[in-house]
Structure 1
């Protein structure tokens, strides 16, 4: 049975997709509310509760055409351009500090043999997810509405590991990232399966501040491989931990969103949600 949180997310995701596909027509509150079969007042409350801002402001955050213009002309970010002199000078809520430890070559090669992996299911602002961890850190996080499908995908990543459905401290610390109290983010640890190049790319993604956007080409330059944008894109696309490593903050140099393993609608929603959190923080500081 679909939970209320999952139902709310599906409605908001549908609204985001509608806004994204019809932004040129500038749909108003009534138009979008009708699309998701809610009254305007109910939709306004639900959307504001979920995103921390109104549907009208959310549209500003996720406008792809606006991203194309500012990235092409001024090389600033979508959020910078939206608020012009706002967030660029605002102190961050918290610096995201995540320790990454790559699995040993033996662990990588044998599919997780001798690894004990705990996993659990949780709700987030972007739908249901599965989070898994070893004794060293979080090794997997994926958005997935179906629990059986989610666990099957996890076990395919580590076919020789021993699994237990259990929520542990590693997972709890990681899930704080979806809350407004982000004081425990420095306790997040990751234990990832990847090549040296992939780990290098994933580490570079952690340097993109919340509320900011980067491009595949910029990431390639930062890791010293300016001509390897395609390889960088492949490494970004293989990110095993959704949201914690913010691959959603990387878009194409043209300003188009580009792909996302967990769906472009969800990517659009996450970018907007992060912008809303940063804007709410700025308002609190004024």
Structure 2
């Protein structure tokens, strides 16, 4: 006999499959709820608990991934992409890209063609680091032992951007953080692109004080969705700016340090280093 938990899981799985198959018709809450035989209000609550986001946001993510694949085709136009994604106009496609990708459809199609990025390499207490910036702020920061590998990874993030190996003032202000010049923190500017949820998670990371730790569950609660611990972990794993956005300060509720994009050993060292600095 199915437990209520299993029944709800099966309903959500059916709903997700239905959305993926029918996203071009942009089904609404009532459509999907009717498909799995529950009331719209109950389905909205159940879907948010299981998926970590609303039905509307999930549909947007499915739609934009399809649109991105179309835009990668050289002959695809913005109009064709909107039509093939099931959106009623190019303006809706534009709004979708701005809200989720932080750029217009044309900018995505160009792969950052008109974007100018300065980058440089520096030494930190935790190893070599690549820091990259646009005119708006830091767009990437990554620990990497090999400069060639680090630069290739940066190019993959912005395939058509123009790169200049140059240390600018934006980067210098960011690197002051490793010199204990905490008074410079307000001068650090970030240029990030991500979903609304990712940006909300990254913002919450910035609010964890030096020398303090938080958990995935605490962050989920802080952003208003206590059941989204797994989704929070995924967003943290997408953090494009090492150390400045302190994802290293998030650990598991069991006390285990957990994974870290730039190595669990480095995470341990950073946490220890920050703990000492709070007593100096």
Query: Normalising to structure 1: TM-score of the pair?
Result: 0.61
Q: Distance in 2 between matches of 1:238 and 1:133?
A: 18
Q: Distance in 2 between matches of 1:153 and 1:243?
A: 17
Q: Distance in 2 between matches of 1:145 and 1:252?
A: 27
Contact 1:103-1:191 at 8 Å conserved across structures: no
| Aligned counterpart, 1:210 | 210
Residue 105 of structure 1, CA deviation: 3.9
Distance change (3 Å), C-alpha of 1:203 and 1:232: same
Q: Distance in 2 between matches of 1:240 and 1:272?
A: 22
Which one has the largest radius of gyration? Answer: 2
Considering only aligned residues, what root-mean-square deviation do their CA atoms show, in Å?
A: 1.3
Q: State the structure with bigger RCO (CA 8 A, min sep 6), 1 or 2.
A: 1
Distance change (3 Å), C-alpha of 1:108 and 1:266: farther
**Structure 2 counterpart SS, 1:202:** helix
| Aligned counterpart, 1:83 | none
Structure 1 residue 160 corresponds to structure 2 residue 160: yes
| Aligned counterpart, 2:187 | 187
Contact 1:108-1:194 at 8 Å conserved across structures: no
| Aligned counterpart, 2:102 | 103
Q: Distance in 2 between matches of 1:251 and 1:148?
A: 31
| Aligned counterpart, 2:220 | 220
Structure 1 residue 248 corresponds to structure 2 residue 248: yes
| Aligned counterpart, 2:132 | 132
Number of residue pairs the alignment of both structures matches: 179
Distance change (3 Å), C-alpha of 1:240 and 1:111: same
Q: Distance in 1 between matches of 2:109 and 2:273?
A: 38
Mapping for residues 242-281 of structure 1, pairs under 5 Å: 242-280=242-280
Residue 110 of structure 1, CA deviation: 4.5
Contact 1:108-1:193 at 8 Å conserved across structures: no
Mapping for residues 1-286 of structure 1, pairs under 5 Å: 103-106=102-105, 107=107, 110-280=110-280
Question: In proportion to residue count, which structure has more helix?
Answer: 2
**Structure 1 counterpart SS, 2:182:** coil
Distance change (3 Å), C-alpha of 1:274 and 1:108: farther
**Structure 2 counterpart SS, 1:149:** helix
Q: Distance in 2 between matches of 1:256 and 1:109?
A: 41
Contact 1:132-1:139 at 8 Å conserved across structures: yes
Distance change (3 Å), C-alpha of 1:138 and 1:108: farther
| Deviation per residue, 1:20-78 (Å, 9 max, x gap) | xxxxxxxxxxxxxxxxxxxxxxxxxxxxxxxxxxxxxxxxxxxxxxxxxxxxxxxxxxx
Residue 276 of structure 1, CA deviation: 0.7
